[in-house]
A and B are shown apart, each in its own frame.
Chain A
Amino acid sequence: MAEDPKRARIAKRIAREFPDGALVNLGIGLPTLVADYLPKDKTVLLHSENGFIGLGPQAEKGQEDPDLVNAGGRPVTLVPGGCYFDSAASFVIIRGGHVDVTVLGALEVDEEGNLANYMIPGKMVPGMGGAMDLVVGAKKVIIAMEHVSKSGQPKILSKCTLPLTARREVDLIVTDMAVIRVTRSGLVLEEIAEDTTVEEVVSKTAAHLHLSPKITEF
Chain B
Amino acid sequence: MKRICSPEEAVRNIHDGASVMIGGFMCCGQPLRLVDALLAKGSKDLTVICNDAGYPDRGVGKLIVAGRVKTLIASHIGLNTVAGTKMGSGELAVELVPQGTLAERIRCGGAGLGGVLTPTGLGTEVEKGKRTVKMQDATFLLEAPLRADFALIKANITDYYGNSFVAKSAKNFNAVMATAARHTIVETDELVDAGSLDPERVVIPGVFINDIVAGGSHG
Contact of A86 with B25 at beta-carbon distance under 8 Å, contacts A68-B168, A136-B119, A163-B124 already known: no
Which residues from chain A contact B170 at a C-beta distance below 8 Å?
Answer: 66-67
A175 proximal to B (CB < 8 A):
no
Q: Is the CB of B25 within 8 A of A88?
A: no
Residue on A nearest B79 in the bound complex, by CB: A73
A128 proximal to B (CB < 8 A):
yes
Tell me the B119-172 residues at the A interface (CB within 8 Å).
Answer: 119-126, 156, 166-172
Q: How many A-B residue pairs have CB under 8 A?
A: 146
Q: Which of B27, B29, B120, B203 contacts A133 (CB 8 A)?
A: B120
A46–chain B nearest beta-carbon distance, Å: 13
Q: Is the CB of A87 within 8 A of B84?
A: no
Chain B 80-93 per-residue mask, 1 if CB under 8 angstroms from chain A, else 0:
00001001100000
Chain A 58-86 per-residue mask, 1 if CB under 8 angstroms from chain B, else 0:
00000001111101110000100000111
Stretch among A14-22, A90-98, A139-147 lining the B interface: A90-98
Q: Is the CB of A95 within 8 A of B123?
A: no
Which residues from chain A contact B176 at a C-beta distance below 8 Å?
Answer: 86-88
Q: Is the CB of A136 within 8 A of B120?
A: yes
Q: Is the CB of B169 within 8 A of A73?
A: no
Interface residue tally for chain A (C-beta within 8 Å): 39
B209–chain A nearest beta-carbon distance, Å: 16
A131 to B75, CA, bound (A): 10
B74–chain A nearest beta-carbon distance, Å: 6
Q: Is the CB of B218 within 8 A of A91?
A: no
Contact of A87 with B76 at beta-carbon distance under 8 Å, contacts A66-B218, A72-B26 already known: no
Q: Which of B84, B121, B125, B169 contacts A50 (CB 8 A)?
A: B169
B139–chain A nearest beta-carbon distance, Å: 11
What's the dominant secondary structure at chain A's contact region? Answer: loop
A49 proximal to B (CB < 8 A):
yes
- Looking at A51, A87, A129, which has the most chain B CB atoms within 10 Å of its CB? A87
Stretch among A149-157, A164-172, A184-192, A201-209 lining the B interface: A164-172
A-B contact pairs, 24 of them (CB 8 A): A50-B172, A51-B171, A51-B172, A67-B168, A67-B169, A69-B169, A72-B26, A73-B26, A84-B167, A88-B104, A91-B100, A125-B77, A125-B96, A126-B76, A127-B76, A127-B96, A128-B99, A129-B76, A129-B99, A132-B98, A133-B99, A133-B120, A163-B125, A167-B123
Which A residues have a C-beta under 8 Å from some C-beta of B? 48-52, 65-69, 71-73, 78, 84-88, 90-91, 94-95, 125-133, 136-137, 163-167
**3 A-B pairs closest in CB distance:** A126-B78, A73-B26, A91-B100
